[in-house]
């Protein structure tokens, strides 16, 4: 298929450049830092008579930092995928070959996702190895859950970035949109959630009796859905420990997974529609 040719070219170009190796180094260094931080914090700040940390504790500890760094890498790798070639004029040459605009956009999504996924896989393997050696043997099932969901989270932000790249005509605009998307999901989303909590409940902390909608709104962002799905699917993890959260169907990890798939598909389709109609 034509999109496969483009995907292979995107990935092979990355293999010959420093991009893949820089991303790999960042991910591996990040994983070592995360596991090291867990070992230090667990050892220094736990009470002397507390039970030693487990591999599951370590995996839960690293979820939030993964949800912070993976979107950055995904957005940076993807945001110039199409608009960069559009500005240089090489996009017209690419489309003069037997490639449709769908082939171009989908091929770049797959190729750029692989640029992010392979370093992420390496980092997760390193992380699992370090946790096994210094904390506790990692369950294969627990590791696979974190692995699959982390790859999906990275793919979501690559898809969003490629969608932005296809929908805009300037890399400056694409870069600004990428920065705005990151701020929206990783900073402002929580602030909006707290604002809604204050408006409807008159408080700024969920407390022990939080409304179910508060957690659901948090779960509607890609990173919130990632954390909710991971904690929900990991056996032995109680997401709402210490709270009297109502038992409602829409706070299940399966709904969180659906939210992740929504962010993977819908922005990409919208970006493709804009790209398909654009005058190049």
Q: What percentage of the chain has pLDDT greater than the value 90? A: 40
Q: Give the separation between CA 150 and CA 227, rounded to whole angstroms.
A: 10
pLDDT for the residue numbered 52: 54
Burial (Cβ within 10 Å: 0-12, 13-18, ≥19) of residue 95: middle
Structure tokens given for 217: 């709104």
Report the largest interatomic distance among the alpha carbons of the chain, rounded to a whole angstrom.
70
pLDDT for the residue numbered 47: 44
More confident residue, 18 or 69: 69
pLDDT for the residue numbered 156: 96
Cβ atoms within 10 Å of 7's Cβ, excluding its own: 21
Structure tokens given for 39: 């070992």
Q: Is the pLDDT of residue 78 over 60?
A: yes
Instruction: Judge contact between 129 and 237, C-beta under 8 A.
Output: no
Q: Which residues have a Cβ under 8 Å from the Cβ of 105 and sit 6 or more positions away?
A: 82, 162, 166, 268, 271, 272, 275
Burial (Cβ within 10 Å: 0-12, 13-18, ≥19) of residue 39: middle
Q: Give the separation between CA 230 and CA 63, rounded to whole angstroms.
A: 8
State phi, psi for 68 to the nearest 5 degrees. -90, -40
Q: Give the separation between CA 120 and CA 27, rounded to whole angstroms.
A: 6
Q: Tell me which residue of 189, 201, 196 sits closest to 225, measured CA to CA.
A: 189
Place of tokens 């602030």: 191
User: For residue range 39-65, what is the model confidence (pLDDT) as tens digits?
Assistant: 777 655 444 444 556 888 888 888 888
User: For residue range 81-135, what is the model confidence (pLDDT) as tens digits?
Assistant: 898 888 888 888 887 878 888 988 999 999 989 888 888 888 888 888 888 988 8
Structure tokens given for 156: 């979501």
More confident residue, 149 or 94: 149
Mean pLDDT of 246-261: 92
Instruction: Judge contact between 150 and 43, C-beta under 8 A.
Output: no
Q: Is the pLDDT of residue 234 over 80?
A: yes
More confident residue, 244 or 269: 269
Cβ atoms within 10 Å of 36's Cβ, excluding its own: 12
pLDDT for the residue numbered 149: 95
Max avg pLDDT among 166-180, 210-224, 237-251, 252-266 = 252-266
Q: Please give the residue range of the domain that contains residue 161.
A: 2-277
More confident residue, 157 or 91: 157
pLDDT-based confidence at 271, cuts 50/70/90?
Answer: very high
Instruction: Judge contact between 252 and 232, C-beta under 8 A.
Output: yes
Cβ atoms within 10 Å of 130's Cβ, excluding its own: 19
Q: Give the separation between CA 130 and CA 36, rounded to whole angstroms.
A: 9
Q: How many independent structural domains does the chain possess?
A: 1
Instruction: Judge contact between 104 and 94, C-beta under 8 A.
Output: yes
Mean pLDDT of 2-25: 79
């Amino acid at each position: 298929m034509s999109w496969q040719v483009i995907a292979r070219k995107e990935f092979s170009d990355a293999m010959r450049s420093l991009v893949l190796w820089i991303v790999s180094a960042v991910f591996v260094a990040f994983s070592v830092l995360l596991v090291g931080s867990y070992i230090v914090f667990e050892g220094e700040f736990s009470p002397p008579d507390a039970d030693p940390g487990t591999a599951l504790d370590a995996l839960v500890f690293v979820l939030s930092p993964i949800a912070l760094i993976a979107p950055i890498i995904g957005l940076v790798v993807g945001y110039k995928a199409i608009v960069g070639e559009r500005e240089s004029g090489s996009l017209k040459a690419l489309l003069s070959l037997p490639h449709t605009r769908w082939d171009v956009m989908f091929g770049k999504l797959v190729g750029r996702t692989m640029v992010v996924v392979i370093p992420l896989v390496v980092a997760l393997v390193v992380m699992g190895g370090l946790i096994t050696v210094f904390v506790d043997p990692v369950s294969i099932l627990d590791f696979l859950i974190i692995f699959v969901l982390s790859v999906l989270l990275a793919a979501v932000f690559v898809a969003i970035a490629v969608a932005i790249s296809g929908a805009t005509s300037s890399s400056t605009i694409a870069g600004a949109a990428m920065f705005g998307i990151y701020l929206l999901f990783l900073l402002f989303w929580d602030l909006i959630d707290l604002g809604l909590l204050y408006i409807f409940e008159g408080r700024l902390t969920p407390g022990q009796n939080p409304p179910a909608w508060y957690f659901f709104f948090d779960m509607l962002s890609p990173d919130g859905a990632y954390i909710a799905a991971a904690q929900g699917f990991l056996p032995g993890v109680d997401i709402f420990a210490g709270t009297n959260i109502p038992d409602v169907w829409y706070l299940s990890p399966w709904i969180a997974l659906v939210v992740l798939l929504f962010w993977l598909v819908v922005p990409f389709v919208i970006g493709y529609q804009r790209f398909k109609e654009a005058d190049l």
